[in-house]
Structure 1
Amino acid sequence: MPLRDRLLALFVVVIWGLNFPATQIALHQFPPMLLAALRWTLLAIPAILFVPRPQVKLRWLIGVGAGIGLLQFAFLYAGMAAGMPSGLASLVLQASAPFTMLLAGVFLGERISRRQAIGIGAAVLGLAAIAAYRAQVAALLPVILTLAGALGWAIGNVCSREARAPKPMQLTMWMAVVPPIPLLILSLFFDGPGRIARSFSTLTTWDAWGSVLALLYIAVFAALIGYGIWNTLLSRNPSSQVAPFSMLVPVVGVLSSWIAFGEGISLVEVIAGCAVIGGVLYASRPPKLVIAPEFAAAVPPGSRQKDPAGESEEVAHP
């Protein structure tokens, strides 16, 4: 990935990290399935009215919307409503990165290098340690729901990569058309008409305004701007290079949740989180350029050969 794309990925990291405390605030007013439906409805309406349909195959458009919009947020919000702390949710959700790499390897034939395999392995072990710890000190269900959301995100990532939208922002807007109706049906079933009615009838109270502003942040910044940039990066870089950056979101998520709510995190979770972050940093590190001394002044890099670590490296050749 070029430096520009790496900086854009880090910008998305900050936006998505702040998204978790914003979601926790929004859930004070809106039940989880309704909140997810409102998030995407706010984007779906202007998309249908003002944005041309992206020039991608319908199956990939539905796949991105179902994976990222429906599965990810239905499970994530349900997990947070069930007691998953926002900071820890930002960490567990990053299981989407190893899920994406595995799905891309199986369905897209993208090669996973030894370095990436080691880094993702460390990240997976860290996530497993968090799940095991939470199972002993708190309910495991919120962790399982959040992991299911991460799998949904990974499915959406792979579909976005295959869509290769010429204008990724159009894909970002139109993927919002897919989840609202299924989420509203789920909201009626799980949240119930009474709870839905109460969330709207109390919107004029002072306490509700914080949740409304949080909802607007979730829709405009986390969804529109964040996924717009993310889909752009996926359209011009391999999934295995883009996905690991999402695993840095917990740095912002945990810190912002600590500042906003005073959420603590145990030593076990800190160590496991460091394993997750360290794994992604190692997996996303670019390979070193190996140039034979006798060819240093020759033509620019062209062919590839294996380095001792088993990864492809650029080398100059005569």
Structure 2
Amino acid sequence: MSNKDLALILLINMLWASNFLAAKIGMEIFSPILFTAIRFSIVILVMVPFVTLPHGYWRKMILVGLIMGVFHFTLMFWGLSLSPDISSVAIVNQTFVPFSALLAMIFLKEKIGWRRWTAIVLAFSGVMVIGFDPIIFANLLSPTLVVIASFLVSLNMVIVRTMPGIGALNLTFWTAAIGVVPLYIISFLVEDGHFSAVQTAGWEQWTAVAFSAIGATVVGHGLTNYLIRRYPVSTISPYFLLVPVFAVILGIVFWGDVMTTELMIGGAMVMSGVTVITLRSGRKKSDEQADGA
């Protein structure tokens, strides 16, 4: 991999890690669902000139839009808004990796060896350890919502794998386009203070929403799509393990996160399990590609 592409991977990691901080800043004023709806509105406006219709996949695309665009982001940002820190959310969010391995075994008939089984148990055990952190334990709803949101990511990944030919940009756009109207409706039904939030939000909150939409989503996913066209997914995906690492650093430096013993031990367990699953899955795909060559 060239130095330029390695630099792009680092940039993507920073953009996605910074999204946790941006969302936290934005939700100081905007309620979680409203934040998500405005974010999607910006994504749609920026991306609409570059997308195509998902011919032949409308039913699955609508399902993806509901699972990811409505339920995942609602639960994820709700959980993040309730969390006193960024670090725990960024780490617990990684449970989508073991969830994906389990769902691939159930629905796609993939085999899981003892190493990945051990890693799955280790990752989920790490989440339980994080839950014993006194700060997190005071509001267990936050990690619970994030775990459910992460499960929905893995469910979405299984569906997307049955949709060959749909690029990352198209998936991103249609997820936003399908989810945005339900999000606004749900927001106006269950949240309040919308007009007050829009009027009182300062440049920090509007910048946070714009960054989450353009920086993390449009640019981040766009660069990822570029790299996927140049390298196998199994080559790129291990590098994205840096996202929670960068998010924890940003949380400590800019949000005042405190690295408790529970968070450090549990985080190490989660990331160790996720790393093993990612590397073993990548190796398995490489072996299959070699066998089919």
TM-score of the aligned structures, taking structure 1 as reference length: 0.77
* 1:165–1:171 contact (8 Å) kept in structure 2: no
Measure how far apart 1:166 and its partner are. Answer: 4.7
Instruction: Give the count of matched residue pairs.
Output: 286
Measure how far apart 1:286 and its partner are. Answer: 5.2
Alignment match of 1:197 (pick from 195, 198, 205): 195
* Greater helix share, structure number: 2
Say whether residues 1:67 and 2:90 are aligned partners. Answer: no
Instruction: Give matches, 1:108-147, under 5 Å.
Output: 108-133=108-133, 137-147=137-147
Q: 1:288 to 1:225 in 2, by over 3 A?
A: closer
Deviates more, 1:116-125 or 1:22-31: 116-125
Deviations 1:284-315 (A, max 9, x none): 335999xxxxxxxxxxxx9x7xxxxxxx8979
Partner of 1:162: helix, strand, or coil? coil
* 1:71–1:149 contact (8 Å) kept in structure 2: yes
Q: 1:148 to 1:245 in 2, by over 3 A?
A: farther
Measure how far apart 1:175 and its partner are. Answer: 2.0
Deviates more, 1:72-81 or 1:7-16: 7-16
Measure how far apart 1:139 and its partner are. Answer: 1.4
Say whether residues 1:277 and 2:275 are aligned partners. Answer: no
- Distance in 1, matches of 2:82 and 2:44, equals 27
Amino acid at match of 1:202: T
Partner of 1:271: helix, strand, or coil? helix
Q: 1:136 to 1:198 in 2, by over 3 A?
A: closer
* 1:288–1:313 contact (8 Å) kept in structure 2: no
Say whether residues 1:253 and 2:244 are aligned partners. Answer: no
Instruction: Give matches, 1:1-318, under 5 Å.
Output: 11-48=11-48, 51-55=51-55, 57-133=57-133, 137-192=137-192, 195-203=193-201, 208-228=202-222, 248-285=242-279
- Distance in 1, matches of 2:206 and 2:271, equals 32
Q: 1:33 to 1:50 in 2, by over 3 A?
A: same
Structure 2 gap ranges (5+): none
Deviations 1:244-267 (A, max 9, x none): 765542211110011112211211
Larger RCO, structure (CA 8 Å, separation 6 or more): 2
- Distance in 1, matches of 2:236 and 2:60, equals 18
Over aligned residues, Cα RMSD in angstroms?
Answer: 3.4
- Distance in 2, matches of 1:285 and 1:136, equals 29
* 2:132–2:262 contact (8 Å) kept in structure 1: no
Measure how far apart 1:162 and its partner are. Answer: 2.0
* 2:238–2:279 contact (8 Å) kept in structure 1: no
Amino acid at match of 1:197: F
- Distance in 2, matches of 1:12 and 1:112, equals 29
- Distance in 2, matches of 1:271 and 1:56, equals 46
Amino acid at match of 1:131: G
TM-score of the aligned structures, taking structure 2 as reference length: 0.83
* 1:69–1:176 contact (8 Å) kept in structure 2: yes
Measure how far apart 1:134 and its partner are. Answer: 5.0
- Distance in 1, matches of 2:235 and 2:59, equals 24
* 1:68–1:155 contact (8 Å) kept in structure 2: no
% identical aligned pairs? 26
- Distance in 1, matches of 2:282 and 2:45, equals 47
- Distance in 1, matches of 2:85 and 2:195, equals 26
- Distance in 2, matches of 1:133 and 1:250, equals 18
Rg bigger for which structure? 1
- Distance in 2, matches of 1:281 and 1:72, equals 23
* 2:80–2:89 contact (8 Å) kept in structure 1: yes
Deviates more, 1:112-121 or 1:140-149: 112-121
